[in-house]
Structure 1
């Protein structure tokens, strides 16, 4: 089904002006039948003005008549010839200039060393490389392993800081959820207890003893 503009407003008009079933209206507008029932009962979309899908060019009169004569018929929306042009274009594979491709193993090593929680699939997508290359860098079987050193991919110009931060954040969130699911507790750095400071003072000045001028400032000798 093609998404239509103003689905609730269209549903309001169809409820008020046609004999279509709730299921037919719901199917056409992309709503739940109970939501359409709520519109008919006045519980939903009270302040929404109905929108005629025929006037708006989203439905033909022939389609509407077919549906009203057959409750099992599901109406088909009119597809605009400009609809395909309005769809966001899918981004193609990440292209890395030839001059920078030799830097990708360094960036991969940076991920392996600093962010092991980031998956190979995420690294491959961000850097425009392959899982096989990532595995060879990790296992030190890459042909140029002797010269590979970890370098921040942003510094190498292979990605932007925002994209890198987003990938790292998603990986960290997923790891935290997985750890919580598996019952792995995250380490918490304990704050020093006040008693420790007291014990240190007692050791320095003597058990329960008040500090003297000599103990604080030292003797003249």
Structure 2
């Protein structure tokens, strides 16, 4: 079934202007039969104006007549040029010019050395490389290991600075969350603690009894 434009508006028109069953309308419009029943009862799409699928070229009269004559028949929508234009286009795979492909190992090594928190999947998507290549660079088993040196991918022209900063920030935030889940807040045991004040100890009774008024204030002579 081809996706149609304005499915609810089309369902409203079919409910009002045809003898199709709720299931037939639901199948054609990509809705649930209960939703179509709600349209017929006035509980759903109350303020939506019906759209004639015959006029806008999404349904032929022959298809409608066949469906009205046979409840088991499911209508097939006409391929709409406008519907095809409105479909979201998939982003093309990242393309790296041939002249730049030899620089990717240097960029991979830069990530390995400076940002180990960035995952292989993120590096692969960012640089248009494979996880296998990333692993050979990390383990230094790449065929050109002797000539690989860490170089900023922005300098190499493989990625823009803004995109690179976003990837690094996202990886750092995820690592911080993972670390917090694993260990949580820990106490700093190396920090010096203030020494406890000595407890007050009163003089022993024997020591207090040895003092006399004469020994403290002196004699009158």
Fold similarity call, TM over 0.5: yes
Does residue 14 (structure 1) correspond to residue 14 (structure 2)? The answer is yes
Whole-angstrom distance in 2 between the partners of 1:160 and 1:19: 58
Moved more, 137-146 or 15-24: 137-146
Distance 1:189 1:25, change over 3 A: same
CA RMSD of aligned residues (A): 3.6
How far residue 123 of structure 1 moved from its aligned partner, in angstroms, is 2.7
How far residue 46 of structure 1 moved from its aligned partner, in angstroms, is 0.7
The TM-score normalised by the length of structure 1 is 0.71
Secondary structure in 2 matching 1:109: helix
Decide whether the 8 Å contact of 1:119 with 1:171 is kept in 2: no
Distance 1:88 1:43, change over 3 A: closer
Does residue 129 (structure 1) correspond to residue 129 (structure 2)? The answer is yes
How far residue 74 of structure 1 moved from its aligned partner, in angstroms, is 0.7
Does residue 118 (structure 1) correspond to residue 119 (structure 2)? The answer is yes
Secondary structure in 1 matching 2:12: helix
How far residue 189 of structure 1 moved from its aligned partner, in angstroms, is 4.4
Moved more, 75-84 or 37-46: 75-84
Matches within 5 A, 1:19-34: 19-34=19-34
Secondary structure in 1 matching 2:123: helix
Larger radius of gyration: 2
Deviations 1:104-136 (A, max 9, x none): 11222233341445234x433321223332221
Whole-angstrom distance in 2 between the partners of 1:50 and 1:60: 17
Moved more, 35-44 or 156-165: 156-165
Q: How many residues align?
A: 198
1:77 is matched with: 77
Does residue 185 (structure 1) correspond to residue 181 (structure 2)? The answer is yes
Deviations 1:180-213 (A, max 9, x none): 9xxx824444688xxx89x64x77xx779xxxxx
Q: Any unmatched runs of 5+ in structure 1?
A: 209-221
Q: Any unmatched runs of 5+ in structure 2?
A: 200-221
Deviations 1:118-176 (A, max 9, x none): 234x4333212233322211211012223433333233221234544555577678889
2:41 is matched with: 41
Decide whether the 8 Å contact of 1:107 with 1:150 is kept in 2: yes
Secondary structure in 2 matching 1:132: helix
Decide whether the 8 Å contact of 2:5 with 2:83 is kept in 1: no
2:212 is matched with: none
Matches within 5 A, 1:136-175: 136-164=136-164, 167=167
